Structure 1
Amino acid sequence: MPVPQYGALGHLFTAARAVQMVCLIAIIGMASNFIAEIVAVQQAPHSVLIGTLTVTCIAALYIIINYILYFDNQLSFLLSTGVDSLLMIALIVIAVKTGMPISYLHCNQLSSTGSTSDFVESVKDNMKATNYWVWIGASKASCYEMKSIWGLSIGLCILFFVTAVASVCMWRRQKTGGAPAAPYKDIEG
């Protein structure tokens, strides 16, 4: 099966998709853990966590389908650019909504013990408030976990920007019928 020939852009696209998938799987795991612990104490998970899980699951499915189409030379690069841009915007919203309260937490100052579910139970009245950060600091581990979700969301924003730009460049190359440039050869004589 022939691999698409887009030179460095194709390699960049492939590498960025691989890193995106790793980040998305990590975010899905961490957000699911938070939601499971909140549900275990019979509370409603915050909408930011639900939104994060929803967007990352959709993005993971999109990447799988998108890369299969790319590998089979069936990918519409303009459509890919549009969806990558939309996912980047959604991840910017997630990063901002998550980062507003998280950026003020100092994880190293929190207790090493404790569980998120116990802490959620003790502050269940605060769960309805918009400042959901009150339960995130249950322990160092949960604080670092939420900060990881925030950091990976920011990283994904950059990666989706990179793949959107790469898709536009590959679309232009495909539209003009240009193949990747031949390697530079020194002309002697």
Structure 2
Amino acid sequence: QPQRCVPPFKNIAFNLEADATNTCGSEGPEEYCLRSPRQSCKNCDANDPDKAHPSRYMTDSKWNPTWWQSQTLNKLAPGPVNLTFHLGRAYEITYIRMTFQSIRPESFAIYKRTSKDGAWVPLQYFSSSCESTYGHSSRELITIEDETKALCTERFSDMYPYSGGNVVFSTLEGRPSAWRADQNKALQVS
């Protein structure tokens, strides 16, 4: 007999290290800058525990004041930065929350894949320039015919706050069948 199963809510990223295509100080000491009312610059160095900012610092603890840091993008980084979490098994992800040490990016996207060798599929776009960056209007709505479509939102793309800005994303928000996702096959595998 089919029955509804509601697993416990769990932080699946806790203490999980991401693969980062760019990390400040990974190739020796270098400067990174945090934008604030007055820009402040500091040094990072992967070989110095007091100045290291590896990707495992993204998920270690909200009580521990550590963070992952990329190179300063307008100075050193050659292009987009990708962070990949390998979860090791299938999960139903319902909620994603990120807190940024510096200002939030002007544009970024969350992708997913449902099998080890499957294609990466967009889950959500965030941008202050949705149309020109991702080819989507920020006013687009999800229809019942295409509930797995990724949308683009301008929320969370402004430069304030300078530090501690959150991005919160609910995977079912705005989906017409969200209230009965357990009966919708498309939403279950998306």
TM-score range relative to shorter protein = under 0.3
Structure 1 or 2, whichever has the larger Rg, is 1
Q: Comparing both structures, which one devotes a greater share of its residues to helix?
A: 1
Q: Comparing both structures, which one devotes a greater share of its residues to strand?
A: 2
- The normalised TM-score by structure 1 is 0.26
